[in-house]
């Protein structure tokens, strides 16, 4: 039982966001102690809005400060579109969070995709992997980039990042970043961190809210171990924490619910 993911259920998004902030602060402290920076991978979808609620709340003490100037933000997945396109995960994070960070909190170093390569998703993925090699040391000296924290979403089909149920990318063991040209959710062309990179994060957090997620949550925790989110649970074990609201976990029986 000890090495299972944590499943936290909150009555509403305000309570969820407040605990998510505390969790992120712990991860930030650990990252700063480890390498004087906080290296985070962030998803798109519904996550950035909740993240903004968690991170933009005013600090109540010095210990509660988000040190954005120490943050390096990477994308857990990105769509092969210009950065100002409505489908861009960077664009979404920018609108929901980055543009709203008060100047006095400092600004994070953000690593969007290189849009010169939008027409060649393999190259787009290779370029993003190259960036990870630069930011996490060379590929020779490091087997995998170890993010201090990955902040992930969970689609209603159980996908996370751009890793979709039944897709061959779930078997990728070599690349750190992979292209996908047949995403079942539009847009079809994307890049994504691969499962080995996701599951090796120091901490891995999912945010899944709303009754629309309850069927897939039941499958992830009680049924289909092959779903991408379930594979992250299996690989990340106790390093995985789910931040959910009550509607999202209605009917899900799981042995370990509780607080941080
Ligand atoms: O397409 C995507 O979907 C997932 C899940 O989105 P959500 O709106 O159901 O939270 C997201 O995590 C991923 O980054 C995005 O590209």
Per the prediction, the chain carries an average pLDDT of 94
Ligand 1 neighbour 108 (Cβ under 6 A): no
Q: Is the domain 6-249 a CATH 3.20.20.70 member?
A: no
pLDDT at 255 over 60: no
Q: What is the pLDDT of residues 178-204, one digit of tens each?
A: 999 999 999 999 999 999 999 999 999
pLDDT at 246 over 60: yes
Query: For residues 44 and 29, what is the distance between their CA atoms, to the nearest angstrom?
Result: 24
CA of 77 to the centre of ligand 1 (A): 9
Predicted local confidence at residue 143, as pLDDT = 82
Query: What's the pTM value of the predicted model, to 2 decimals?
Result: 0.96
CA of 141 to the centre of ligand 1 (A): 32
pLDDT at 259 over 80: no
Report how far apart the first and last C-alpha atoms of the chain are (Å, whole number): 16
In sequence order, which residues have a C-beta less than 8 Å from that of residue 168 and are 6 or more positions away?
Answer: none
Interface pTM (ipTM) of the complex? 0.98
pLDDT at 17 over 80: yes
Q: What is the pLDDT of residues 73-98, one digit of tens each?
A: 999 999 999 999 999 999 999 999 99
Query: For residues 211 and 162, what is the distance between their CA atoms, to the nearest angstrom?
Result: 22
Give the Å distances, CA to CA, from 20 to 103, 152, 208.
22, 12, 12
Domain boundaries, the chain: 6-249
Which of 93, 96, 155 is the pocket-test mutation for ligand 1 (most atoms within 8 Å of CB)? 155
pLDDT at 121 over 90: yes
Q: For ligand 1, atom 16, which residue shows the shortest CA distance? A: 44
Q: For ligand 1, atom 5, which residue shows the shortest CA distance? A: 155
Query: For residues 38 and 30, what is the distance between their CA atoms, to the nearest angstrom?
Result: 8
């Amino acid at each position: 039982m000890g090495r299972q993911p944590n499943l936290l259920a909150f009555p509403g998004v305000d309570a969820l966001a407040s605990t998510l902030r505390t969790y992120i602060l712990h991860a930030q402290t650990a990252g700063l102690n480890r390498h004087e920076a906080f290296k985070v991978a962030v998803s798109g979808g519904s996550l950035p809005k909740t993240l903004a609620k968690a991170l933009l709340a005013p600090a109540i003490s010095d210990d509660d400060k988000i040190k954005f100037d120490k943050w390096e933000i990477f994308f857990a997945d990105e769509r092969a579109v210009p950065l100002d396109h409505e489908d861009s995960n960077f664009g979404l994070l920018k609108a929901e969070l980055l543009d709203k960070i008060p100047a006095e909190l400092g600004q994070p170093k953000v690593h969007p995709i290189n849009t010169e390569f939008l027409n060649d998703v393999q190259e787009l993925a290779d370029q993003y992997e190259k960036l990870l090699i630069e930011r996490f040391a060379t590929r020779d000296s490091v087997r995998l980039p170890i993010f201090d924290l990955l902040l992930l979403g969970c689609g209603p089909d159980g996908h996370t990042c751009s890793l979709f149920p039944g897709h061959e990318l779930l078997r990728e063991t070599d690349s750190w970043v992979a292209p996908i040209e047949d995403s079942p959710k539009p847009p079809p062309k994307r890049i994504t961190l691969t499962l080995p990179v996701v599951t090796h994060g120091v901490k891995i957090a999912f945010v899944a809210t709303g009754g629309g997620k309850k069927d897939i949550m039941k499958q992830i925790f009680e049924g289909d171990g092959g779903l991408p989110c379930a594979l992250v649970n299996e690989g990340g074990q106790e390093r995985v924490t789910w931040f959910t609201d009550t509607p999202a976990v209605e009917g899900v029986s799981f042995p370990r619910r509780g607080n941080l």
